[in-house]
């Protein structure tokens, strides 16, 4: 499948199967904003829940936080965002399209020939808003462009209430907003998105060791989502291109259909943020080391990833279009789409079907559905041919299907079908929950 064609097919599939579609679509949509449908929100939540369990609940040195989307404008002044969160904007004089200077390519102008650009202009990529009923400079602030600053301004509060000692981390998943000049490549570059990141506080001198540890942990987590190792590579930012706060930054790039692009990253932010907020606020944000009796600003290692980008990578990895998967003559000539999600990420874990909608088959199928529903997200379907129902579940990535047929009424067994191998076997109704739990591993 050609890469550009693959992305087009994924966009079409995502809308058709209830995963993702443009926001405000009945009014023509709005660039850079997407809604996650019934299956998309399940996939997204599964990614977030697994991340939270891995990096917060299963660790003793990381605690969680949910900070406000809107904070005092003084936060953005102290962090450098108000003056420094700037993109360079150019506009084509012929077609009037606007571009970020960093993203310029050799693509042709819609009016023919090459683009003719204006001189670059500075553009603040933060969404501006006001607090209260009066709109003036005193009430101005911004929708946050990142979640990190909430963790820095709450550092001392968390330190005092959690009684943690260095090294320790603060984790957060939350909405962020960036007024991108150009949104493109589906979920890759959008204006509203979720970030999952950790600010891990360490003593200066130990920062390089923990940087390497977090880079390894970040890669391991991504690989556990079903991403192939050969589709990941690291990009070390040269010193001249580092952000003003960074001592070192390494991106984890993924081989998207539109090329190798940033999926996640790890940055060494040194003590820039805590020292900046202490100077601006006048509040003591230093850490007191009980062992050495020293007070100092910790260095910060920041592993971060975008949930939408990660969801897109997971979909790209799982998406397969194939022919002749189904052996009937009609189906063999049709293209079939299968999503090979890992069991942990699959939006629906099991689908339950009666073979036909008559006799006692629907009743038995409903009993099985109700028994499994408290354990996992289960789907029930009794309309259409059994082959079509299987294919619908393949398209949303359901790992297993349970079918109640006439043999069920005789010996109380059902058919259990595997999505990837398409193999079917019979199991006793009394064994369904245990067998499926073992297969799912969750």
Instruction: Provide the residue ranges of all domains of the chain, joining segments of one domain with +.
Output: 3-77+141-315, 325-440
Instruction: Give the torsion sign (CA, 423, 428, 429, 432).
Output: negative
Q: Is the dihedral of CA 153, 156, 161, 164 positive or negative?
A: positive
Residues 6+ apart with CB under 8 A from 393: 348, 351, 379, 401, 419
**230 annotated to bind ligand:** no
Q: Determine whether the annotation assigns residue 399 to a binding site.
A: no
pLDDT for residue 333: 60
Query: 189 among the known binding-site residues?
Result: yes
Is 179 annotated as belonging to a binding site? yes
| CATH number, domain 3-77+141-315 | 3.30.930.10
User: HSE of 323 in the Cβ direction (CA atoms, 13 Å)?
Assistant: 6
242 is annotated as contributing to ligand binding: no
Q: How far apart are CA 216 and CA 85, in angstroms?
A: 29
Nearest of 350, 298, 283, 345 to residue 317 by alpha carbon = 345
| 308 marked ligand binding residue | yes
Q: What is the mean pLDDT of each run of 10 residues along the chain (442 residues)?
A: 82 96 95 97 98 98 97 94 78 72 69 74 85 91 96 96 95 96 91 98 97 98 98 96 93 97 98 97 96 95 98 98 69 81 98 94 97 97 95 97 96 97 96 95 80
Query: Tokens 């100092």, residue?
Result: 296
Ligand-binding site membership of 208 (annotated): no
Pair of tokens at residue 2: 């050609």
307 known member of a binding site: yes
To the question of whether residue 388 is assigned a binding role by annotation, the answer is no
Six-digit token string for 109: 């102008």
Among 56, 64, 49, CA closest to 442: 49
Choose among 436, 396, 437: nearest CA to 418. 436
Does the annotation list 303 as a binding residue? yes
pLDDT value of residue 242? 92
Is residue 389 marked as binding?
A: no
Q: Is 116 annotated among the ligand-binding residues? A: no
pLDDT at 329: 46
User: What CATH class is the domain 325-440?
Assistant: alpha beta
What is d(CA 29, CA 13) in angstroms, rounded to the nearest whole number?
Answer: 18
Judge whether 355 is annotated as a binding position.
Answer: no
| 193 assigned to a ligand binding site | yes
C-alpha dihedral, 166 to 200 to 153 to 311, nearest 10°: -150
166 marked among binding-site residues: no
Euclidean distance between CA atoms 419 and 393, whole angstroms:
8
The verdict on whether residue 413 carries a ligand-binding annotation is no
Residue 417 annotated in ligand binding: no
Whether this prediction's pTM lies above 0.85 is answered by yes
């Amino acid at each position: 499948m050609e890469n550009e064609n693959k992305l087009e097919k994924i966009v079409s599939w995502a809308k058709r199967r209830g995963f993702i579609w443009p926001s405000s679509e009945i009014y023509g949509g709005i660039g850079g904003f997407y809604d996650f449908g019934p299956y998309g929100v399940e996939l997204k939540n599964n990614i977030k829940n697994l991340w939270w369990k891995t990096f917060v609940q299963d660790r003793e040195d990381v605690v969680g936080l949910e900070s406000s989307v809107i904070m005092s404008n003084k936060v953005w002044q102290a962090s450098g965002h108000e003056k420094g969160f700037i993109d360079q904007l150019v506009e084509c004089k012929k077609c009037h399209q606007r571009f970020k200077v960093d993203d310029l390519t050799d693509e042709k102008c819609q009016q023919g020939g090459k683009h003719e650009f204006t001189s670059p202009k500075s553009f603040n990529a933060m969404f501006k808003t006001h607090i209260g009923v009066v709109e003036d400079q005193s009430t101005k602030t911004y929708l946050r462009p990142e979640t990190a600053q909430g963790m820095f301004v709450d550092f001392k509060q968390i330190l005092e209430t959690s009684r943690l000692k260095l090294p320790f981390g603060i984790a957060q998943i939350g909405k962020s907003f960036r007024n991108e000049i150009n949104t493109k490549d589906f979920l890759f570059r959008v204006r509203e998105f979720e970030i999952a990141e950790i600010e891990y506080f360490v003593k200066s001198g130990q920062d390089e060791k923990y940087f390497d540890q977090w880079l390894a942990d970040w890669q391991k987590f991504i690989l556990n989502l079903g991403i192939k190792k050969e589709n990941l590579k690291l990009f070390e930012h040269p010193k001249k291109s580092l952000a003003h706060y960074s001592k070192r930054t390494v991106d984890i790039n993924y081989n998207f259909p539109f090329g190798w692009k940033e999926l996640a990253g790890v940055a060494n932010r040194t003590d820039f943020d805590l020292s900046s907020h202490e100077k601006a606020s006048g509040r003591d944000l230093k850490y007191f080391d009980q062992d050495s009796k020293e007070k100092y600003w910790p260095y910060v290692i920041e592993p971060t990833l975008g949930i939408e980008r990660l969801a897109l990578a997971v979909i790209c990895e799982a998406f397969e279009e194939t022919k002749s998967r189904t052996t009937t003559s009609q189906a063999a000539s049709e293209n079939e789409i299968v999503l090979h999600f890992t069991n942990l990420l699959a939006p629906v874990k099991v689908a339950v079907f009666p073979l036909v909608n008559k006799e006692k088959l629907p009743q038995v199928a409903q009993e099985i559905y109700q028994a499994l529903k408290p354990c996992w997200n289960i789907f029930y379907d009794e309309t259409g041919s059994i082959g079509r129902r299987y294919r619908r579940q393949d398209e949303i990535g359901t790992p297993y299907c349970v079918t109640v047929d006439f043999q069920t009424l005789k010996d109380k067994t059902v058919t259990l079908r595997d999505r990837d191998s398409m193999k079917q076997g019979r199991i006793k109704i009394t064994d369904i929950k245990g067998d499926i739990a073992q297969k799912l591993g969750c």
